[in-house]
Amino acid sequence: MNGIFLAFLGTMGTFSITALGAAGIFFVKREVSGRLQNGFLGFAGGVMIAASVWSLLLPGLEFAEENGQTGWLVMTGGFLLGVITLLIADDFLKKWFARQEGRRVTLGKSTLMLVMAITVHNIPEGMSVGLAFALAAQKPSDLALFSGAIALAVGIGIQNFPEGTAVALPLVKEGMKKKTAFFIASMTAAVEPVFGVLAAAFAGTVRNSIAVCLAFAAGTMIYVVVEELIPEAHIEGSDGKEGTLGFIVGFLVMMILDVALG
């Protein structure tokens, strides 16, 4: 079967599970307490840190070494590029919000950066699934390659479930309607089918750059967690324990999913 079509099917599956995770927002009360909000933000931070380590940095090192690259150098460069990009975006958003003073702004800076980071992180994941199916299509007699591509798609899809929730919850916290929050959280994974298909179409070229893409995504996510989510999770109405405990729960959930699914 055509590798591009298989890549499309696989990444549509990962996208759908993100949407399923985002749908959890419909089971949360419209108004939540400050403590619960802190827990949600901490949870999102924990999910993102665990995903950065097990879904991005470690696989990126493996990709780099498989391609004969110096793993630590490629990953350091990509990571710093992600951090620098978010530093620039952060500065731009601060100036933009300053100009909006007195006007009604729908989302806060931290939430915008969260959406941005999760979206960026989904790009190399979609590329990984696309490449796996492209390779399997090139060698149809090798069933191990095909089963490995399916396992990768399922694993990334299941990991996407808490990410969809982690994005949707802060959006509702900002006062957004649940349907809109669901849509935006789901769309953070829409890049996966797009880049999965592109990766399958240009498999030879893309494979050499996927490690730096994974590192770049990790840099953006860790920047957002340290700069925005952790401070936000310790601001309102408590001694900070809810944000800390939420972080631990999110980290453990994502770590277990990543490690158990290999």
Mean pLDDT for the chain overall: 84
Percent of the chain scored above 70 by pLDDT? 90
pLDDT at residue 258, rounded to an integer:
75
pLDDT at residue 113, rounded to an integer:
87
pLDDT band at 248 (very low <50, low <70, confident <90, very high): very high
Residues constituting the chain: 262
Q: Say if CB 191 and CB 122 are below 8 A apart.
A: yes
Annotate 168-184 with DSSP letters as a single string.
HHHHHHTT--HHHHHHH
pLDDT at residue 187, rounded to an integer:
94
Q: How many CB atoms lie within 10 A of CB 169?
A: 23
pLDDT digits (tens, 9 = 90+) for 142-198: 777 788 788 788 878 887 888 888 888 888 877 788 999 999 999 999 999 999 999
Please name which of 18, 29, 14, 22 lies closest in space to residue 168, comparing C-alpha atoms.
22
pLDDT at residue 155, rounded to an integer:
79
Residue 237 above 60 pLDDT? no
pLDDT at residue 240, rounded to an integer:
63
Q: Which residue has the higher pLDDT, 136 or 33?
A: 136
Q: Which residue has the higher pLDDT, 209 or 76?
A: 76
The residue-averaged pLDDT of 246-258 equals 87
pLDDT band at 48 (very low <50, low <70, confident <90, very high): confident
Please name which of 49, 48, 50, 46 lies closest in space to residue 38, comparing C-alpha atoms.
46
pLDDT at residue 158, rounded to an integer:
83
Measured CA angle at 69 (ends 194, 156), to 5 deg: 35
pTM of the model: 0.76
pLDDT band at 112 (very low <50, low <70, confident <90, very high): confident
Residue 213 above 60 pLDDT? yes
| CA 211 – CA 78 distance, rounded (Å) | 8
pLDDT at residue 10, rounded to an integer:
92
Who's near 199: CB < 8 A, 6+ residues apart? Answer: 7, 126, 127, 128, 130, 131, 134, 206, 210
